[in-house]
Amino acid sequence: MTLEQTLPICVAGTWRLGGGERYATCYPATGEPVAWLNAASLEDVELAVQGAHQAFLNSGWAQRKPHERAAVLYRIAEAIRQRSEELAQLQRQDNGKPINETRALVASAAGTFQFFAAACETLEETITPSRGDFVSMSVYEPMGVVAAITPWNSPIASEAQKVAPALAAGNAVVIKPAEITPLLALQLARICEDAGLPKGLVSVLPGKGSLLGDALTRHPLVKRVSFTGGTRTGKHIAHIAADKMMPVSLELGGKSPTIVLDDADLDHAVAGVLYGIFSSSGEACIAGSRLFVARSLYEPFMQHLVAAAAQLRLGDPADEGTQMGPLISAAHRESVERYVALGLAEGGRLRLGGERPSGGLFDQGYFYPPTILEGLDNHQQVCQEEIFGPVLVAMPFDSEAELVEQANDSLYALAAGIWSRDYKRAWALGRKLQAGTVWINTYKQFSISTPFGGWRDSGLGREKGRLGILQYMEQKSLYWGMSQQPLAWAGVEARP
Ligand code: NDP
């Protein structure tokens, strides 16, 4: 593709220019355009959903045997692997993450298709214990058209997490990627098509969520929305879904506590805390953004942490050694800066960072350094709101009871981390923390085989896990009458 070309989008099995406004996606490390495309229009939403509905009804995909659907998904996984370097480089340009990180995201997307292919061909329907003259069964049916609405921070991995189980279940999917990072979703649609997925089963609608995502969610033929993004948008979608009586899964924001107990292995804890907040430049829902350290350890731990954070390599995402790339956009960097200023106004002190770097690439892209604030209380705004950037707030604690109260004192409840050498103590604490995921002596580790999701304002429902495929299916109970006699109630006698 050349920069002058306007990229086509995928609407109901046809590649054509979107009906909306032309816009450029930009490389956050330089601010320069990567590709031009036309956003989808509301007419494209209608065509994509109608096309998906027709493909669901007529392509035979839902009727294929599970191992036949799985064969296509295995091919998609393989194609992602074969094109992994090209996809990782494109994703680096799409959202500015360091190349090593985008390689891992592409590998994760391939693994997700492979996993759900296996889940599809091994999914069991059950014969339930009979309590009458019948055989009773629990079976699953696909839903029809599913909408997958994804954010900008981990394209392809987020999309795979929704598209793979939805297709495995026999559905059609309309993807609405974030307006500013549409390139990987478009590539994924190409890969699905090349792998032999019937046309129309996957559409991709780049453009504004407030227009396209909203219309998709409201569409009567859309039977489920799987959404990852901010809590405010998630609640908006939940309201629409309630009116339609439509199931939704919502993977939303977080303000996750990382806890260092006084018996922690300091080197492990420092490495884990740094990775938890500063990898992906903090643009991660599960970022460990609130640090609680036992008071007896606080100062030595902070010295070690600050010294190690100062060594992190912020820079060109194309360099193999870069650990932190730019933030996604100028507007997002300004939002992060406002939070740091607010933290200082609330009485916080900077232990590290807090100022834009300058010189070379730093003058072009939206870079922001690892930043550590202290001297704040958990109830203050920077400790309660999701910053979604490389900003850590560190707080000492005195007792475990006080710690649990503060760690759980958040609207969010997505993840938490504990660092301790005492596994019994860590177990007891882990059970008291309110969070969808608790990491003990590790952080930000993921497995497609383990369910993921949040409590409270962090979301509804779970993605991943072998049974993640069931989110995209309706359960149905089947009863097979086995009596030689008619049902007794009507008093009808069986004829000899
Ligand atoms: P948004 O909620 O703004 O956007 C997410 C997606 O929703 C985008 O595709 C967006 O489109 C779309 N959207 C926006 N408005 C609507 C609407 N009214 N109806 C339907 N869709 C809409 O989130 P961000 O892009 O700011 O992403 C960051 C957020 O995502 C953070 O809060 C983060 O915590 C969360 N997140 C959660 C994860 C999890 O698994 N729990 C993982 C990753 C991120 P567009 O951008 O094109 O306008």
Q: Could you give phi then psi for residue 233, rounded to 5 degrees?
A: -65, -40
Residue 5 predicted with pLDDT over 90: no
Residues 153-197 have pLDDT tens digits of: 999 999 999 999 999 999 999 999 999 999 999 999 999 999 999
User: Rounded distance, CA 436 to CA 458, Å?
Assistant: 9
Residue 1 predicted with pLDDT over 60: no
Which atom number of ligand 1 is nearest to the Cα of residue 254? 34
The rounded Å distance from CA 236 to ligand 1 centre is: 11
The rounded Å distance from CA 229 to ligand 1 centre is: 3
Angle (nearest 5°) at CA 224 between 218 and 227: 85
Q: What's the pLDDT score for residue 44?
A: 98
Residue 359 predicted with pLDDT over 90: yes
Q: Which residue has the tokens 């979608």?
A: 237
Bridge partners of 397, per DSSP, are 294
User: Rounded distance, CA 213 to CA 137, Å?
Assistant: 37
Angle (nearest 5°) at CA 473 between 470 and 479: 100
User: Rounded distance, CA 486 to CA 254, Å?
Assistant: 58
Residue 52 predicted with pLDDT over 70: yes
Instruction: Give the CB-side neighbour count of residue 179, counting CA atoms within 13 A.
Output: 17
Atom 39 of ligand 1, residue of closest alpha carbon: 251
Atom 18 of ligand 1, residue of closest alpha carbon: 210
Residue 14 predicted with pLDDT over 90: yes
Residues 458, 464, 466, 470, Cα dihedral to 10°: 70
Which atom number of ligand 1 is nearest to the Cα of residue 207? 47
User: Rounded distance, CA 14 to CA 16, Å?
Assistant: 6
Q: Could you give phi then psi for residue 339, rounded to 5 degrees?
A: -65, -40
- In this prediction, residues 405-428 reach a mean pLDDT of 98
Q: What's the pLDDT score for residue 114?
A: 98
Atom 17 of ligand 1, residue of closest alpha carbon: 210
Atom 11 of ligand 1, residue of closest alpha carbon: 209
CATH of domain 257-440: 3.40.309.10
Q: What is the DSSP string of 157-203?
A: HHHHHHHHHHHHTT-EEEEE--TT--HHHHHHHHHHHHTTPPTTSEE
Atom 32 of ligand 1, residue of closest alpha carbon: 230
| Residue 235 · residue 155 · CB < 8 Å | no
Q: What's the pLDDT score for residue 485?
A: 93
The rounded Å distance from CA 232 to ligand 1 centre is: 9
| Residue 465 · residue 164 · CB < 8 Å | no
Q: What single letter denotes the amino acid at residue 182?
A: P
Q: Could you give phi then psi for residue 197, rounded to 5 degrees?
A: -70, 130
Beta strands of 53-161 (E only): which ranges? 126-128, 134-142, 145-149
Residues 435-470 have pLDDT tens digits of: 999 999 999 999 999 999 999 999 999 999 999 999
Give ligand 1 pocket residues (Cβ under 6 A): 149-153, 176, 178-179, 208-210, 213-214, 217, 228-230, 233, 236-237, 251-254, 285, 386, 388, 414, 454, 459
Mutation probe of ligand 1 site: the residue of 105, 150, 225, 285 with most atoms within 8 A of C-beta: 285
**In this structure, are strands 202-204 and 6-7 parallel, antiparallel, or unpaired?**
unpaired
For the packed helices 157-168 and 66-82, what is the interaxial angle rounded to 10 degrees? 160
The rounded Å distance from CA 449 to ligand 1 centre is: 24
Atom 25 of ligand 1, residue of closest alpha carbon: 151
Which sign, positive or negative, has the C-alpha torsion 366, 370, 375, 379?
Answer: positive
Residue 2 predicted with pLDDT over 80: no
In 3D, which of 246, 160, 217 has the Cα closest to residue 468? 160
Question: What token pair was written down for 429?
Answer: 């604490």
Q: Which residue has the tokens 């690892």?
A: 370
Which atom number of ligand 1 is nearest to the Cα of residue 149? 9
Residue 48 predicted with pLDDT over 80: yes
Question: What token pair was written down for 64?
Answer: 């294929």
Rg of the Cα atoms in the chain: 25
Q: What's the pLDDT score for residue 182?
A: 98
Residues 286-326 have pLDDT tens digits of: 999 999 999 999 999 999 999 999 999 999 999 999 999 99
Residues 246-298 have pLDDT tens digits of: 999 999 999 999 999 999 999 999 999 999 999 999 999 999 999 999 999 99
Atom 42 of ligand 1, residue of closest alpha carbon: 285
Residue 101 predicted with pLDDT over 90: yes
Q: How confident is the model at residue 496 (pLDDT cuts 50, 70, 90)?
A: confident
Backbone torsion region of residue 186, taken as left when φ is above 0, otherwise alpha when ψ lies between -120 and 50, otherwise beta = alpha
The rounded Å distance from CA 233 to ligand 1 centre is: 7
In 3D, which of 211, 172, 200, 184 has the Cα closest to residue 43? 211
Atom 13 of ligand 1, residue of closest alpha carbon: 209
Residues 189-234 have pLDDT tens digits of: 999 999 999 999 999 999 999 999 999 999 999 999 999 999 999 9
Q: What is the mean pLDDT of the chain?
A: 97
Which atom number of ligand 1 is nearest to the Cα of residue 206? 47
Q: What's the pLDDT score for residue 39?
A: 98
Atom 22 of ligand 1, residue of closest alpha carbon: 209
SS3 of 292, please?
strand
Mutation probe of ligand 1 site: the residue of 21, 216, 228 with most atoms within 8 A of C-beta: 228
Which atom number of ligand 1 is nearest to the Cα of residue 285? 34
Contacts with 173 (C-beta within 8 Å, 6 or more apart), sequence order: 52, 145, 146, 147, 148, 162, 163, 166, 167, 201, 202, 203
Task: Give the catalytic positions in this structure.
Answer: 251, 285
Which atom number of ligand 1 is nearest to the Cα of residue 229? 30
Which atom number of ligand 1 is nearest to the Cα of residue 214? 19
The rounded Å distance from CA 28 to ligand 1 centre is: 18
Percent of the chain exceeding pLDDT 90 equals 98
Whole-prediction pTM value? 0.97
Strand order through the sheet with 437-440: 349-352, 371-374, 391-397, 290-294, 257-260, 415-419, 437-440
SS3 of 310, please?
helix
Domain boundaries, the chain: 6-252+458-478, 257-440
Which atom number of ligand 1 is nearest to the Cα of residue 152? 25
- In this prediction, residues 363-388 reach a mean pLDDT of 98
- CA distance to 51, 53, 56, 285, 304, per residue, from 59 (Å): 11, 10, 6, 37, 59
User: Rounded distance, CA 489 to CA 271, Å?
Assistant: 70
The rounded Å distance from CA 129 to ligand 1 centre is: 43
The rounded Å distance from CA 339 to ligand 1 centre is: 19
| Residue 227 · residue 250 · CB < 8 Å | yes
The rounded Å distance from CA 208 to ligand 1 centre is: 11
- CA distance to 154, 189, 322, 358, 458, per residue, from 437 (Å): 19, 31, 28, 37, 11
The rounded Å distance from CA 263 to ligand 1 centre is: 38
Atom 19 of ligand 1, residue of closest alpha carbon: 214
6-252+458-478 is a CATH 3.40.605.10 domain:
yes
| Residue 359 · residue 303 · CB < 8 Å | no
Helix (H) or strand (E) holding 301: helix 295-310
